[in-house]
Structure 1
Amino acid sequence: MAWIWKSVLLVIAGMILLRIAGRKSISQMSVATTVIMISIGTTIVQPIANNQLWKAIGSATIFIVALLIIEYLQVKFNWLENLMSGRSKIVIENGQIISKNLRSVRMTVDQLEMRLRQNGISNISDVKFATLEPNGQIGYELMQHAKPVTIGDLERILNLKSGKVLEQSGLFQEIKTNHHTIPIDPKLK
């Protein structure tokens, strides 16, 4: 029966320690974070069989403190961040794949294309820059002709065609000018 309360205590301690460690999905974990999380998982399971509950919680706490120190030092020292996490690598520049960089990150063209398709990109020539980030994600900027149109773009286009200049909303304009207009019912005109 003692193993039940020990298991519950380990789960609670593990949840608290992981909450302190921060919220990152597996794809966002650095090498140090991954090693520490695996170590915590292994450490937390052991005491149930070996009756060393407090040693397991202490070890897990040391792992989390080490992780927090490493993350703090990475924020403080750029060279340590580069050493521990790495840097982004440009894999596409001006619609052209940079084969040398793709090889250095051990990624095939097919894998790159798959990731681009998952981001809704169907043509490599539409990509101005694409980077493989240290967390394994693809970052990208589209060429001007391939960027989606924003509401601001549409407003500018529509106003240019009609010859109108955009004015601020009447409610805010009233506050700025301290002049309150009363809307006129079109039926009364």
Structure 2
Amino acid sequence: MPDWIIVFLRSLLAIAVLFFMTKLLGKRQISQLSLFEYITGITLGSIAAYICVEINTSWYLGVVSLVTWGGVTIGMEYLQLKSKKARDFMDHRGTVLIQNGKILEDNLKKIRITSDELLTRLRQKNMFKVADVEFAIMEPNGEINVFPRKENQPLTPKDLGIRIPHETVPQTVIMDGKILDHSLHNLGLNRRWLHTELKKAGVSVENVFLGQVDDMGELYLDLFDDTIQVPKPKTRQLLLATLEKALADVKGFALDTNNPEAKKMYRACQNELEQVITKVRPRLQ
């Protein structure tokens, strides 16, 4: 058999084995790998390359080595899932670098990180002053996480006493010009509704690159032809305008009537409408 055919077949085998081992080892990113997992990845790649091009050796020995390395790694991951002590031994614990605004020099020496490198890593977290850091820890994967002092933390709606309503993840209902029926089903919608919305926008399914429906039932479209402008949905704005018009009408009714009972009823309706509009305005603007 020609050598190039042997290399071709061995390459296909190595790819298949590596793909299978990768599926078993999970989907961690490079930055999330432990030291042993990182070494394992390099070793598996080297063995796979050796299997492909070393024609004079027995190919199955390389496969045995691949399976052995992969099996040991999977076994260690399973052990880490079951044992806290095993996780601490294999991945080490997180190391506190700054606590209560104070740099812990002894811990820097343990993990062999200089003050210059610490400052660089802090700047990567947008922290340019050590005095602004309340707590910093180096995770087992080498990432440094920083917790700023309370006065340096960004304001949130909760700090301002603003209630933000819960919002669900938009569902993709059209992708590459194809309708995704399972997404429509998850939203309680059907193709008839979708075609009605597309007709309102003046586009066909085949021209839609991506279509998403948010939790308010509004359809957002991105077309293959970027020169075509699709009108943005106005359901929220129309609903807010309708509520505000109703509020204005109720206020007018209260001013026009001379009946005390009717005026009292209109005032009560006005208060209820104002409360409703205050609650829903963040979602409708």
TM-score of the superposition, structure 1-length normalised? 0.79
Q: How does 1:129-140 map to 2 (within 5 A)?
A: 129-140=135-146
Counterpart of 2:8 (choices 4, 7, 13) is 4
Summarize deviations over 1:65-94 as a string: whole Å, max 9, x none: 211111111222222211111111111011
The one-letter code sitting in structure 2 at the alignment partner of 1:3 is V
Q: Which whole-Å CA distance do the structure 2 matches of 1:167 and 1:20 have between them?
A: 41
The one-letter code sitting in structure 1 at the alignment partner of 2:88 is N
TM-score of the superposition, structure 2-length normalised? 0.54
Q: Which whole-Å CA distance do the structure 2 matches of 1:78 and 1:20 have between them?
A: 22
Q: 1:100 to 1:52 in 2, by over 3 A?
A: same
- Give every structure 1 segment of 4 or more consecutive aligned residues whose post-TM-superposition deviation is greater than 6 Å: 166-169
Bigger-Rg structure (1/2): 2
| Counterpart in the other structure of 1:108 | 114
Q: Which whole-Å CA distance do the structure 2 matches of 1:134 and 1:115 have between them?
A: 15
Q: 1:168 to 1:64 in 2, by over 3 A?
A: closer
| Counterpart in the other structure of 1:41 | 45
Summarize deviations over 1:99-124 as a string: whole Å, max 9, x none: 11011110001101111111111111
Q: Secondary structure at the match of 2:159?
A: helix
Q: Which whole-Å CA distance do the structure 2 matches of 1:3 and 1:31 have between them?
A: 32
| Counterpart in the other structure of 1:93 | 99
Q: Which whole-Å CA distance do the structure 2 matches of 1:41 and 1:167 have between them?
A: 49
Whether the 8 Å CA contact 1:95–1:125 is kept in 2: the answer is yes
Q: Which whole-Å CA distance do the structure 2 matches of 1:43 and 1:10 have between them?
A: 9
Q: Secondary structure at the match of 1:92?
A: strand
The one-letter code sitting in structure 1 at the alignment partner of 2:6 is A
Structure 1: runs of 5 or more not aligned? 160-165, 170-181
Q: Secondary structure at the match of 2:97?
A: strand
Whether the 8 Å CA contact 1:94–1:125 is kept in 2: the answer is no
Q: Which whole-Å CA distance do the structure 1 matches of 2:32 and 2:39 have between them?
A: 13
Q: In the TM superposition, what is the alpha-carbon distance from 1:185 to its structure 2 partner? A: 5.2
The one-letter code sitting in structure 1 at the alignment partner of 2:138 is L
| Counterpart in the other structure of 1:186 | 248
Q: Which whole-Å CA distance do the structure 1 matches of 2:33 and 2:77 have between them?
A: 11
Q: Which whole-Å CA distance do the structure 2 matches of 1:75 and 1:168 have between them?
A: 36
Q: Secondary structure at the match of 1:130?
A: strand
How many residues align? The count is: 168
Q: Which whole-Å CA distance do the structure 1 matches of 2:75 and 2:116 have between them?
A: 38
The one-letter code sitting in structure 2 at the alignment partner of 1:58 is V
Q: 1:58 to 1:168 in 2, by over 3 A?
A: closer
Identity %: 27
| Counterpart in the other structure of 2:66 | 60
What is the RMSD of the two structures over their aligned residues, measured on CA atoms? 2.4
The structure with the greater share of residues assigned to helix is 1
Summarize deviations over 1:116-148 as a string: whole Å, max 9, x none: 111111111111110111100002211100111
Q: Which whole-Å CA distance do the structure 2 matches of 1:75 and 1:148 have between them?
A: 35
Q: Which whole-Å CA distance do the structure 1 matches of 2:247 and 2:119 have between them?
A: 58
1:28 and 2:21 correspond:
no
1:75 and 2:75 correspond:
no
Structure 2: runs of 5 or more not aligned? 167-241, 253-285
